[in-house]
Amino acid sequence: MTRTGETTARATGRGQAPTVHAGGGRWRPGWQRLLAGVLAGALLAGSMPPRSAWYLAPVGAAALTWALLGRRWRQRLVLGAVAGFGFFAPTLSWLIDFHPAGFAAVLLLEVALFAGAMLLVDPGRGRWWTVPAALVALEAVRARFPFGGFPLPGIALGQLDGPFAAAAPLGGSFLVVGLTTAAGAAVTGLAVAHRRVRMLVLVAAVAAVSAAGVALAQPSGAPAGQLRTAVVQGGGPRGIPAVEADEQEVTERLFDVSENLPADLDLVLWPESSIGVTGPVADTREADRIAALARRTGATVVAGVTESGETSFRNAAVAWAPDGRIVDRYEKVHRVPFGEYIPARGLFEQLSDMTALVPRDAVPGRGPGLLNTPAGPLGVVISYEVFFSDRARAAVTAGGQVLLVPTNAASYTTEEVPATEVAAARMRAREMDRAVLQAAPTGYTAIVLPDGSIAEQGELGTPELLTATVPLRTGLTPYARTGDLPVLLAVALALIAGPAMRVLHRRDRAADP
């Protein structure tokens, strides 16, 4: 049977070949599919912080799967572009406040990556599992490209209050993305399947494997005591770029709030860029004041320090012992492109005024983020590094029993990025089975427990002093041991399964006329 605008390949006997529809033309997937693509992107965006409606992501994946299955590669490219636009346009809109042209460039790149990922989807009508596999592959690329990665937003960060986040200790955020989107894609796959019994068995098998994986993912670490902590937020105006901020005012606000620190603390955490000095911090007046604070409270104090030079600067987390000595420091490894350094600075200085926002490049640090202090071994990821699980893994595998996130989100006018950063801290807590302390000069400051729940969180722009006793943990989760490799291997197998099945099917047909 033949229909206009549709080409159907059918098989007899042992199997059925995939069905590929031509649609309205080589590039036109049809208005219903286009609408489903835009809707899919919008639903994924709705699941992101600060909205965090986690249940919208599986629905978006279901809509995306329906739009893609049976489409030719050109049509999948178009559908990926419209879905990517629906996802990234609202979730990256905060970039407009910094540089409208930069927003347009980033949006174009992210949409292109989303569209390219949809080329990995197998057009076969029953190959629904290639959609979540392609989305995981997309997230993996975005975590590394461009300029070392730009994973904002990340699909997994909308799932912290949903059931799929329970898989984070087993396979990290990529497994969370895979399970979230597979749940929606499987529903669509079941709806369009010709062989419903096989599909039901497959869905049941996926559910059983997922349940077993979540059970295995329960933390196996051991408690190592408790830490009495205080996290300080000085408050103040928001939406001020770092190059325009009054560093001394930021410092004074933090000292003012710290006057109310309670007794019997083990650790006090100040935000990133709490102190700005020229040259090394050790012999400065600011270092003497922090040392006095440590002696007065009897606690280890960790503060973010910016050490400026003529052509560069260092972004460090520095630890003062209760006796006032500087005992350790960690310098930020994963810098923010176009925020802390300009890639190919010579070229961009000729093309854009963006370099006025970043007059000097940060010097990259080395090694894992670990501070050895009287309060214990403290893992550290500074600001942007919280979005990269490899930095958290490095800190934990080096011995960190708690994770510190000194950050500075004062440049943003909306809560989009601060809320996303808290979600990233919660994801790192679940992946690593560690409490996470996040300090920001104007918010969000938060204390996160190892299960990803928020024990305390401040408001934006206000002075805050958060205190809590958090558990110290040792041992490693399965994800902390293995990283992303097992999930990425599973994704690769899922993506090559469709073509392999077609080859085998053709051989069967040739052998059995």
Domain boundaries, the chain: 24-218+483-511, 222-332+362-480
Average pLDDT of span 322-342: 95
Nearest partner of 387 among 221, 180, 156, judged by Cα: 156
Position 28 scores a pLDDT of 82
Q: Would you say residue 375 has pLDDT above 90?
A: yes
pLDDT of residue 8 exceeding 50, the answer is no
Mean pLDDT lowest among 36-50, 208-222, 241-255, 325-339: 208-222
Q: How confident is the model at residue 214 (pLDDT cuts 50, 70, 90)?
A: low
DSSP code for 221:
-
Q: What does the pLDDT look like over 421-456, one tens digit per residue?
A: 999 999 999 999 999 999 999 989 999 999 999 999
d(CA 408, CA 249): 14
- Lowest mean pLDDT: which of 118-127, 251-260, 270-279? 118-127
Q: What mean pLDDT is predicted for residues 80-109?
A: 94
Counts of helices then strands in the chain (DSSP H, E): 14, 16
222-332+362-480 fold: Nitrilase/N-carbamoyl-D-aminoacid amidohydrolase (3.60.110)
| CA proximity to 355, closest of 110, 99, 152 | 99
CA nearest neighbour of 315 among 325, 323, 328, 306:
306
d(CA 233, CA 463): 5
Q: Report the half-sphere exposure of 57 (CA within 13 A, side-chain side).
A: 30
Nearest to 11 by CA among 126, 172, 132, 177: 126
pTM score, two decimals? 0.90
Sign of CA dihedral 159, 164, 165, 169: negative
Q: Could you read off the pLDDT of 276-320 as tens digits, one per residue?
A: 999 999 989 999 999 999 999 999 999 999 999 988 999 999 999
So what's the pLDDT on residue 195? Answer: 58
Work out the mean pLDDT of the chain and round it to a whole number. Answer: 88
Q: How confident is the model at residue 10 (pLDDT cuts 50, 70, 90)?
A: very low
Helix (H, G, I), strand (E, B) or coil at 218: coil
Please give the structure tokens belonging to residue 179. Answer: 């399970």
Residue 224 has pLDDT above 60, yes or no: yes
pLDDT-wise least confident of 11-15, 25-29, 115-119: 11-15
The burial class, CB within 10 Å (0-12 / 13-18 / 19+), for 323 is exposed
Tens digits of residue pLDDT in 334-372: 999 988 998 888 777 766 666 677 888 999 999 999 999
pLDDT band per the 50, 70, 90 thresholds, residue 204: low
Structure tokens at 15: 């199997």
Instruction: Work out the number of other CB atoms within 10 angstroms of the CB of residue 199.
Output: 18
Give the pLDDT mean for 472-488.
96
- Which of 61-70, 278-287, 335-344, 374-383 is predicted with the least confidence, judged by mean pLDDT? 335-344
CA distance 297 to 411: 31
* pLDDT > 70: percent of the chain: 86
The DSSP H or E segment spanning 326 is strand 326-331
Q: CA nearest 338: which of 112, 139, 146? A: 146
466: pLDDT confidence band, cut at 50, 70 and 90?
very high
